[in-house]
Structure formats: structure tokens, C-alpha cells
Structure 1
Amino acid sequence: MSLSGKTAVVTGAGRGIGLAYCRRLAADGANVVALDVNDPAEALAALTGPGEKVGQVCDLARPEQIEAAAAAVLERFGRCDILVNNAAIFPTTDLETVTLQVWRRVQAVNVEAMLLLAQAFVPGMKAAGWGRIVNTGSANTLLQTRDLAYVTSKGTVHALTRALANELGESGITVNAIAPSVVATEGFAGRSRAAGSSAQDVLARVSSMQTIKRASVPDDLGDALGFLVSDAAGFITGQVLHVDGGLTRTGA
């Protein structure tokens, strides 16, 4: 499933799931533009594949930086064929303690950036008659997770995915979401330490509730992405694909 000649933009691409997405897209032949709040250049150096690998620092909470990053992509490549909205922040919040400032930053990064990037890149996809948008959602929307701002944002991501699919289907553009559960990444390990818990214990507990009894790794998501952006998935749109080892198999 070659992506030769296609240009992909991935947010939150410096490590973890985002880097796995970049790795898969690059291996399949796409030009890859990695956006991250930290410089992703070092991570991109390890990617293989014939396409270009470009890293750019971008704080998705700042619309002017999104606009500048999108303009740079269009100037260099002419259009974005594949938009992968992966970046997210997840401060622990509840109703009693969440501030409006924190709430708005979570929505800005996790949701509003998707809207702004779609507005920037969809015109080129429409002109080409082909495009793929894949958003990273979350299995937490179907679980009893108490993290108010994050879970709300991911529920909105799922709704935005379906709304965009409704709007763009006749333009040759598919819009889907990949919803992981807990994934063994550096970021998850760091958050676990900060919360005073063991990442391995959490992964083991989640794995025990899955049909497939092992921890999820970033390449599980990368493999799903490789399918969704290919021509083989051209009749799939508006879907939230739960890649979680069967954790949410009873969810609606």
C-alpha cells in the first residue's frame, strides 16, 4: 500500500504514538511533516523510507503557530494529503478543581487544533479529489475514567470525526479516528511516576481486562493508521476504530 508522492502531517509526532504514526507513513513512502511542541528532528532521523522527513516546532494551543506551520507545508509540498491529528494534553482534572484556563487549553490542543488544520488542508484535498484525516480518540470515553477535561475533549474528537466525515465524503476525503486505551509510551510512564503509581502495574491491570492479554504498544496504532490512510480503506469513513485489545468490546 504505497503512499509514494503523498504528503502526511502528523501532530504530537516527537515520540510515542505520534512517532509510530510517522514511522509507518515514512516506511510506506510518504513525505512526513512532524509537528510537535518540542523539536522532533532527532526522532525523525531514525525514520526510513524514500520520502522527505521534516520536523517543525508548533504549539497547537496557539493558532498563529498552526497557521504558520500549515503555510510552510503548503509552500514546500503544495498540499497535505494525509492529516493525522494525534497531539493531546491530559492534565488530571475534576469538577471541583478544574480551572477555566486549564479547560480551555485542553480543548484548544485536543480539539480546536484539528479544526484549524482541517480548514488549512482540506481545500487541497478537495482539489485533488483524495484525502485522509485520522484523529486520535480514546477508549476512555467508554470507560469509567474520572478525568473531566480530557475525556470531554476526546468525546468531542469522536463527534468531530463523524461530523467532518458527513461533510467531506463526496469530496473523496475519508475521516476516521483511532481510539487506543493505555499505551506503553514514554509519556505514559512519566505520568504514572508523577501520580505515584507504576506504569507496569497499570498496564498489567488493563491488559487483564482485554481479550488480548498484552500491553498495547505504539506500533499497534501505527499499523491501524497504515490501513486507514490506504486506498484499501477508501469505503470506510466516520468510524471510531477502537484499537485496544478488546478492552471496550462491550461498549456502544
Structure 2
Amino acid sequence: MALDGKTAVVTGAARGIGYAYCQRLAADGANVVAVDIEDPTAAVRELPGGGDKLGLVCDVGDPSRVDTAVGTVLDRYGRCDILVNNAGVFPFTDLDHVTIELWRRVQAVNVEAILLFARAFAPGMRAAGWGRIVNTGSGITLMQNRDLAYMTSKGTVHALTRALANELGDSGITVNAIAPGLVATDGFLGRVRTNGPSTEEVIARMTAMQTIKRPSVPADLGNALAFLVSDDADFVTGQILHVDGGVTRTGA
């Protein structure tokens, strides 16, 4: 169990990619704290492994609720060793219709929550001389996409990942991002159903762009995460790892 004794906090963890992250971390021996705006308690009960498991309800776009979640983690475990910032919202927005309230909500959940959790947990990582922060970015930043608020937020996630890596690298803390392509999670499929083409058409279109001709599944991201949080990746930081079957062939 490579992560035995480590405590991992995963946001956006009740389902989809976030839950796949929890499954892999738990299987590798970590204590896992699943944080989500939906109650993750039932999902947490199904996690493998012998480490401790905890589900926390938290709107990560609300700084006061982030503070409460952080306090619960520190009271129970003393520190967080692995922080996986996966929570995100992705409404369709364009310049003509986006409201400032919606814009700020997207940035609060997708970007500012990363800052809040990192600021809270970095001191414990520094004291331990070891830490892993992994953010969920997106391949959308390299595509011709008109999803204004979401695309902007994920570009900022990539930049924030590199900025944190610069600041924390001499403390034994690595900071990286995983940038998925299209992953057929319930959340994504629900979004597609309300915005035009069928899910089958969207998946087929993306798969045709890939070098590896099969749809992406959440476990693909979990496997990448397992490497980035391991000691094998202790010389890897500030990277945006595109896990998309070969759609992206240049990093940004």
C-alpha cells in the first residue's frame, strides 16, 4: 500500500472523475476524505482499502464552508498529505448571455477553491516535508471552444498550478494538473443532453479525434493520479498532464 498512512482530500468526489480518484487513493491505502456539494456518504461506504474514509458536504465556492471542511480534516487527521482539487461547475456561457453572478460562481468553484484549500493544507505539508497537490484542468483550453466562463477558469487552473509549483517546490510539495478530454460521466452527459447533439454523437466525435480509439473512462484519470501522488513522481511538478487518448499533442 504505497499511500498507507497518508491522508487525501478530494473535492467534487461524490461521483464521476472525483469518485474514481477516491477509489484509486483508497485502494492504494490512503485515508480518503470525499468532499462534495452532494452528500458523498453513501459513495464513501463503497470505497475499497483499509484506510479511514470520511464524506463531507461542502460548497467549495463558499469560503466559510471551506474553512469548516478544512477544520474537520485537521481535527481528525492532523494534516492533509494529498490534495486533489477536482470540484467544478461547467454551465454553457457566451459573451452575450453570461451574467457576472454566473461568471463569479464558476471562478469561485473552479479556481478560488484551489487557492483556499492549498493555503489551508500547505503548512502541514511543509512541516512534513512531503505533499502532493493535483488539480483537475481541462483539454478545453487548447480547443476552439466558445464556453467562455468554463474555458477561462480552466486556463486559470493551469496557470495557478504552475504558480503554486513555483512557490512550493523547495518544500517537498509537488503541484500538477490532470487535463482530461471528454469523459462520459453522469455530469457531463447531463450537460450534453440539454445542449444539442446526442451523447453518442459527442462521444463518437471526440473518439475520432483521439489516437487511442476508445472512449475515456474515469479510471484513466485515476491511474494518472496514482502516479502523480506517488514517490515515483517526486521530480515532476508544474506540469499539465493531458489524459485524453492523444487528442492533445502539445501542452499548455
Which category describes the TM-score, using the shorter chain as reference length?
over 0.9
CA RMSD of aligned residues (A): 0.9
**Equivalence for 1:89:** 89
Listed one character per residue, the Cα deviations across residues 39-88 of structure 1 (whole Å, up to 9, x for unaligned) are: 00111121110101100000011100000000000000000000000000
Q: Which runs of 5+ in 1 are unaligned?
A: none
**Equivalence for 2:248:** 248
Maintained 8 Å contact 2:242/2:251: no
- Within 5 Å, which residues of 2 pair with 1:43-122? 43-122=43-122
Q: Which amino acid aligns with 1:198?
A: S
Determine helix, strand or coil for the equivalent of 2:70: helix
Maintained 8 Å contact 2:240/2:251: no
**Equivalence for 1:177:** 177
Q: Which amino acid aligns with 1:12?
A: G
Of all paired residues, the percent bearing the same amino acid is: 71
Runs of 4+ in structure 1 deviating by more than 6 angstroms, as ranges, are none
**1:189 and 2:189 are equivalent in the alignment:** yes
Listed one character per residue, the Cα deviations across residues 210-244 of structure 1 (whole Å, up to 9, x for unaligned) are: 10011110000000000000000000000000000
TM-score (norm 2): 0.98
Maintained 8 Å contact 1:188/1:199: no
**Distance in 2, Cα, partners of 1:244 & 1:238:** 19
**Equivalence for 2:144:** 144
Determine helix, strand or coil for the equivalent of 1:236: coil
Deviation at 1:251, TM superposition (A): 5.5
TM-score (norm 1): 0.98
Deviation at 1:26, TM superposition (A): 0.1
Indicate the larger mover: 186-195 or 65-74.
186-195
Deviation at 1:197, TM superposition (A): 2.5
**Equivalence for 2:232:** 232
Determine helix, strand or coil for the equivalent of 1:141: helix
